[in-house]
Chain A
Amino acid sequence: MSTSTNVTCPECGGEFEAGAVEVGEIIVCPECSVELEVLGTNPINVGLAPEEGEDWGE
């Protein structure tokens, strides 16, 4: 099954090809540099990535 991985950035409206991504993956909009989280893949759907929390780390 082939699905389009063309993404519209919710921040700047720019369109780009996301490639092979999975739900939960963070991608960067090549146009406005905002970080986006893949929310769905069929069809592809992205939202703004969560902001970094104070207790996040390795």
Chain B
Amino acid sequence: MTAAIGVLCERKRVEEKQVIQVLADAGVPAVPVPPAALPLPVVPFAPAPQVAAAFGATMPVVVDRCQDRAVASAVLPLWQGTGAVVIGAGIAATGNRLAVASALSAAGVPRPATLLVASEEAGLQALETLGYPATLLPLTVGAAPVPLLDRDAAEAVLEHRQTLGGTCEVVGLLQAGTTIGAEHALVIVVGGSAVASRHMGNETTFGPQAVALAEAAAKAIGADVAGIELVRTTAGLVVWDVQPVPDFRDTVPLGDRTAGQAIADLAAMRLIERTAIGASQPNGAHLGSTMRREVTDGVALAL
């Protein structure tokens, strides 16, 4: 049986094992695909089958679980170019934090006061406006946010990033506030619905408002799957950051499915949709609502 779903991951971690296991239990063949193990032909110059062949299989559906986001940014467009349906974090999958913040703001999703800075000097100047504490969210793919609790720390952090890392490492978003000591939670949104969450800082009292906010954020960035970080600031509940490939092993389900099950369900549903499109509508026209319901029901039965 050839695999139908590839899970892009360097290694099967707890999360990827869960997704693959749920699919296997439902009879949907899924395999881990190491994203950076092989050279890849460049689409559209290379025929799609060559790309698939490089991975040893055709993958109608690919789930993005790459921990290395630099690798993901490079290989995801190739997979999309092969015609594979990629389940990922939308703008957050290959875009930087500026692209994500812009999309969230454009959609009216509340965010902390933010300034873009591209130098140490600009950073210190921005902090005069934003005040302390603040947080630097580097635009470098995969870089962790850095809390700047006071002026001494800000001077040191910005100088270190610029001196040791170069200009690219000092370019980032400066956000007012910090997650340290704040109500801070990660909400996993899959297929438009918040499915699980976990506290990242102080115990949170987030309710339906948080669920709605996380779902709005995922929608704004076009994410199939995303980890939406929420923080309660003095200005209210805001979207702090987005994790394109969130760890969900310690999350608590909000409904009757774990995050791993929800991702597997979504992957299986996309596979059925894809197959249905391929079989009945080669031009790739959208499924009718009746057909979509049948597909969804089919998945529900299958899983």
Contacts and interface: CB of A to CB of B under 8 A. Distances in A.
Given A13-B17, A31-B12, A32-B11, 11 more contacts: A11-B11, A11-B14, A12-B11, A12-B14, A12-B17, A13-B13, A13-B14, A13-B249, A32-B12, A32-B13, A33-B11
Interface in A1-29: 11-13
A2 B193 CA distance: 48
Nearest to A10: B14
Interface of A: 11-13, 31-34
The 6 A-B residue pairs with the shortest CB-CB distance, nearest first, are A13-B14, A32-B11, A11-B13, A12-B13, A32-B12, A12-B12
A13 B249 CA distance: 10
A20 B34 CA distance: 32
B11 A34 contact: yes
Nearest to B16: A12
Interface of B: 11-14, 17, 249
A29 B218 CA distance: 35
A41 B42 CA distance: 49
A55 to B, nearest CB: 16
Contacts of B249: 13
Nearest to A31: B12
Contacts of B14: 11-13
Contacts of A12: 11-14, 17
18 contacts: A11-B11, A11-B13, A11-B14, A12-B11, A12-B12, A12-B13, A12-B14, A12-B17, A13-B13, A13-B14, A13-B17, A13-B249, A31-B12, A32-B11, A32-B12, A32-B13, A33-B11, A34-B11
For A11, A31, A32, A34, which residue has the most chain B Cβ atoms within 10 angstroms?
A: A32
Contacts of A11: 11, 13-14
Contacts of B11: 11-12, 32-34
Nearest to A8: B14
Contacts of B12: 12, 31-32
Contacts of B13: 11-13, 32
A27 B44 CA distance: 43
Nearest to A14: B17
Nearest to A33: B11
A33 B9 CA distance: 14
B15 to A, nearest CB: 9
A48 B91 CA distance: 31
Nearest to A13: B14
Nearest to A11: B13
B66 to A, nearest CB: 15
A52 B243 CA distance: 26
A31 B12 CA distance: 9
B244 to A, nearest CB: 19
Contacts of A34: 11
Nearest to B18: A13
B87 to A, nearest CB: 21
Contacts of A32: 11-13
A12 B12 CA distance: 6
A11 to B, nearest CB: 5
A13 B247 CA distance: 13
Nearest to B17: A12
Contacts of A33: 11
A31 B13 CA distance: 10
